[in-house]
A and B are shown apart, each in its own frame.
Chain A
């Protein structure tokens, strides 16, 4: 509470302090500016010139956006870019990765960029309904010619083709397939407790195993994540699929109207039972932390897409020895699809390069370079199986022999964004209140609310 007047000396020292501060600020700002003016272009240059590091390509560029930023993912896209650069050495490639799991950040960024007329030459997108906003506003160009010239119609399966075809025109090229309906298990734990994985084919068998594990000391045999909500929705989606492909087809076509539909109620009852065996801290775990529990043997089961395989590999586990996988109970013969694709945006600055890129993305060579590293399988049916690891080989087999294929809702393909967004919230709410009839009502209401946006009739069952 000193109220003395500021003496002259103090005032001087204050001025000096301000001057020093301002000087420091200018020095820092100047340093940063100098860095960006001199060094930064060098960094971009290194990215552009994959082949020839000295010669800097001038205007002949290809700019792509994607969300593959983690170690393995980045290596995979680099392998694909390498195939492109070998084939088109005169085109410099600028990759603009935007970090954020499942593209949650890129999705928002890209919508703003495209609407502002700043579309890149191609960007990563989930096939299916995630393309709809861009199509509605006429931001994508049809690429029917490419599909015909490249002979793609013969090599991609029907449902996958349907996911990038709107109103009879092709608008994108799928680059990979991830499978969503996979049940991962810790083989050592199952062996220890004498559980035969073959009994996990039905929900009844699965719950017998879960109960046995609990009785024998593993309190929460199922690991689940949930911090982003979609991890919960992902599990519920696979359970809904287990109620039959015709039911799932009605669901994604927006045809369900009855909240008392026995298949819907059944699925929710199964999920309620499933949740009883789930770790109670799921709301604070990411999907990979949940997988890590299975890896460490703290849980026996986890339902997650087959990107989880990478986590097991990084932890040094062997497929078939330490861990194994099965289709989610009740979904054998069905392949739940998560598909990334690239497309040609209207107004791309280098439209020819965009088409060249798509040719490489859809080529056997490109897909067989990208997918072994990414951990997914090619969207084409003619993959070179020798390049892939043991899990992927079995997945490629399953993919080729799949009786049905189904597009995932949670991963942006099967249903309108509005429903998918509501579905996340509904799943997350159900995980805490376990109210079957309320959840069934909410799902039907969400379908009704998005009614106008169901513009595609999926044909999963022939």
Chain B
């Protein structure tokens, strides 16, 4: 062994201790907790098999939360990518200063904290005074939407807020993808007489697939983990109509002092996130 590898070994050990203990060790502990009996605040483990997981089957709010997480994934993510793609193409066509200015403008919401976003939108959504309903009434549309108070609409109101916050990010990543395509291909297409629509649908889209896929994975993880925004905006209400897994985990763990059940919910969340991240990593590694 030569001397140069010594720092590497140190680095490896430090990584092992910190990353593996504080991340994987605690994930393991959480798994152990989820297989033990509910004992409130007592620090003890009594292995009880799948008791906590069976509890989920009989917990109606669990199914509502799963459904809501699925809605977030199936509505929010495609909409966000579509919007991001649209904005990115607009920016690319604009080019120059406009591109730089608007690119940054669209990205601004992404830099805000979820709590700030949620408080602001809660005011905008207010049934009586909110700016959105005020605009609707100015337009003489004669409809007042109960954005956060109607259980059929509330979740989609949350989707709109998420779109506002994340589409700028999607736009930026897709724009970077478009920029990575060699200029010569655009010139060639122009010489061949391709229209703008053809350029983007035939040349750009096929080449930025992987960029879109990476956004998809990031947003998927966000949609599964969504907590603070929903906690502030609706707190799971009205009723239980906007509960998601992360919120349910917090309520069951900290408010009903059932940490073991909370841990089981956390594990489900973990498995779901891993089910998305692991294939992504495998594909990424295979590509190299």
Q: CB-CB < 8 A to A57: which residues of B?
A: none
Which of B234, B241, B254 lies in contact with A107, CB distance below 8 A? B254
Indicate if the CB atoms of A432 and B235 lie closer than 8 Å: no
* Smallest beta-carbon distance B62→chain A, Å: 13
- Write out, one digit per residue, whether chain A residues 387-427 have a CB within 8 A of any chain B CB (1) or not (0): 00000000000000000000000000000011001000110
How many angstroms from the CA of A354 to the CA of B237 in the assembled complex? Answer: 40
Task: Kindly specify which of B109-117, B124-132, B220-228, B272-280 makes contact with the partner chain.
Answer: B124-132
Additional A-B contact list (13), CB under 8 Å, known A136-B40, A279-B128, A430-B239: A3-B182, A107-B255, A136-B41, A139-B41, A226-B237, A228-B235, A281-B128, A281-B149, A284-B148, A425-B61, A428-B237, A428-B238, A428-B240
- Shortest beta-carbon distance, B245 to chain A, in Å? 16
Which A residues are in CB contact (< 8 Å) with B239?
425-426, 428-430, 432-433
State A282–B251 Cα separation when bound (angstroms).
22
Q: Is A115 engaged at the interface, CB distance under 8 Å to the other chain?
A: yes
A200, chain B: closest CB distance, angstroms: 26
Contacts of B235 in A (CB 8 A): 227-229
Residues of B within 8 A of A425 (CB): 61, 236-237, 239-240
Q: Does A198 contact B (CB under 8 A)?
A: no
A107 to B240, CA, bound (A): 21
Closest to A450 in B: B256
**A41 at interface, CB cutoff 8 A:** no
> Closest 3 CB pairs between A and B?
A429-B239, A281-B127, A283-B149
Q: Which residues of A contact B130 (CB under 8 A)?
A: 284
Q: How far is the CB of A444 from chain B (nearest CB, A)?
A: 14
**Could you list which residues of chain B lie within 8 angstroms of chain A, going by C-beta atoms?**
39-43, 61, 122-123, 125-130, 146, 148-151, 179, 182-183, 186, 234-241, 250-251, 254-258
Count of residues in A whose CB is under 8 Å from the partner chain:
35
- B-facing mask of A257-298, CB < 8 A → 1, else 0? 000000000000000000000011111100000000000000
CA of A253 to CA of B39 in the docked complex: distance in angstroms?
22
A134 at the interface (CB under 8 A from B): yes
Tell yes or no: A359 within 8 A of B by CB. Answer: no
Is A283 in contact with B40, judged by CB distance below 8 angstroms? no
B236 partner residues in chain A, CB cutoff 8 A: 229, 425
A43 at the interface (CB under 8 A from B): no
Say whether A229 contacts B254, CB under 8 Å.
no
A-B contact pairs, 19 of them (CB 8 A): A107-B255, A115-B43, A133-B40, A136-B40, A137-B42, A226-B149, A229-B235, A229-B236, A280-B146, A283-B148, A283-B149, A283-B234, A283-B237, A284-B125, A284-B149, A426-B239, A429-B238, A430-B239, A431-B238
Q: Is the CB of A283 within 8 A of B238?
A: yes
Complex: A429 Cα to B126 Cα, angstroms? 19
With both chains docked as a complex, state the minimum distance between the C-beta of B265 and any C-beta of chain A, in angstroms. 14
User: Contact residues of A with B, CB < 8 Å?
Assistant: 1, 3, 107-108, 111, 114-115, 132-134, 136-139, 226-229, 279-284, 417-418, 421, 425-426, 428-433
Are the CB atoms of B179 and A111 closer together than 8 Å? no
Known contacts A114-B41, A133-B41; is A429 also within 8 Å of B240 by CB? yes
Inside 8 A of B241's CB, which chain A residues have their CB? 429, 432
Output the least CB separation between B243 and chain A (Å).
8
- Bound together, the chains give a CA A429 to CA B234 distance in angstroms of 12
A227-B122 in contact (CB<8A): yes
The answer on a CB contact under 8 Å between A283 and B146 is yes
A157 to chain B, nearest CB (A): 28
Task: Pick from B61, B122, B126, B257: contact of A111, CB below 8 A.
Answer: B257
Closest to A439 in B: B239
Decide if A134 touches B41 in the complex (CB within 8 Å).
yes
Question: Considering residues B129, B150, B237, which has the most beta carbons from chain A within 10 angstroms of its beta carbon?
Answer: B237
Min CB gap A246→B, angstroms = 28
Please determine whether B126 and A281 come into contact, CB atoms closer than 8 angstroms.
yes
Within the assembled complex, what's the spacing in Å between the Cα atoms of A139 and B41? 9
Inter-chain contacts of B251 with A (CB < 8 A): 421
Residue of A nearest to B44 (CB): A137
The interface residues of chain A lying within 8 Å CB-to-CB of B126 are: 281, 284
Find the B residue at minimum CB distance from A284: B126
Please give, as numbers and ranges, the residues of chain B lying within 8 Å of A111 by CB-CB distance. Answer: 41, 254, 257
* A361 CA / B97 CA spacing, docked (Å): 66
Looking at the assembled complex, report how far the CB atom of A231 sits from the nearest CB atom of chain B, in whole angstroms: 11
Decide if B148 touches A108 in the complex (CB within 8 Å). no
Q: Which A residue sits closest to B240, measured CB to CB?
A: A425
Q: Which residues of B contact A284 (CB under 8 A)?
A: 122-123, 125-127, 130, 148-149
From B129, B235, B239, B255, residue with most partner A Cβ within 10 Å: B239
A425 to B235 Cα, complex, angstroms: 10
* Bound-complex Cα distance A227 to B231 (A): 10
How far apart sit A134 and B148, CA to CA, in the bound complex (Å)?
36
Q: Do A417 and B150 touch (CB < 8 A)? A: no
Q: Which residues of A contact B186 (CB under 8 A)?
A: 1
Residue of chain B at shortest CB distance from A425 = B240
Query: Which chain B positions have C-beta within 8 A of A421?
Result: 251, 255-256
Q: Which residues of A contact B41 (CB under 8 A)?
A: 111, 114-115, 133-134, 136-137, 139
Q: When the two chains form their complex, are residues B149 and A417 in contact, meaning their CB atoms are under 8 A apart?
A: no
Residue of A nearest to B151 (CB): A432
Q: How distant is B253 from chain A, measured CB to nearest CB, in Å?
A: 8
Taking CB atoms, residues of chain A closer than 8 Å to B146 are 280-281, 283
Distance in angstroms between the alpha carbons of A227 and B149 in the assembled complex: 9
How far apart are the CA atoms of A102 and B151 in the complex, in Å? 25
Contact partners of A114 in chain B: CB under 8 A: 41
Q: Which of B61, B148, B250 has the most CB of A within 10 A?
A: B148
A448 CA / B250 CA spacing, docked (Å):
22
- Least Cβ distance of A287 to chain B in Å? 14
In this complex, what residue of B is CB-closest to A115?
B41
Residue of B nearest to A282 (CB): B149
Q: Are B149 and A137 in contact (CB under 8 A)?
A: no
Complex Cα distance, B250 from A332, in Å, reads 38
A108, A137, A229: the one within 8 Å of B237 (CB): A229
Instruction: Tell me the minimal C-beta distance from B94 to chain A in angstroms.
Output: 14
List of B residues within 8 angstroms of A429 by Cβ:
151, 238-241
The residues of A that contact B128 with a CB separation of less than 8 Å are 279-281
In the bound complex, what is the Cα–Cα distance between A433 and B240 (angstroms)? 12
Instruction: Tell me the minimal C-beta distance from B285 to chain A in angstroms.
Output: 27
In the assembled complex, the Cα of A425 lies from the Cα of B247 at a distance in Å of: 13
Best-buried of A133, A281, A430, A433 by chain B (most CB within 10 Å): A281
Chain A positions within 8 Å of B238 at CB level? 283, 428-429, 431-432
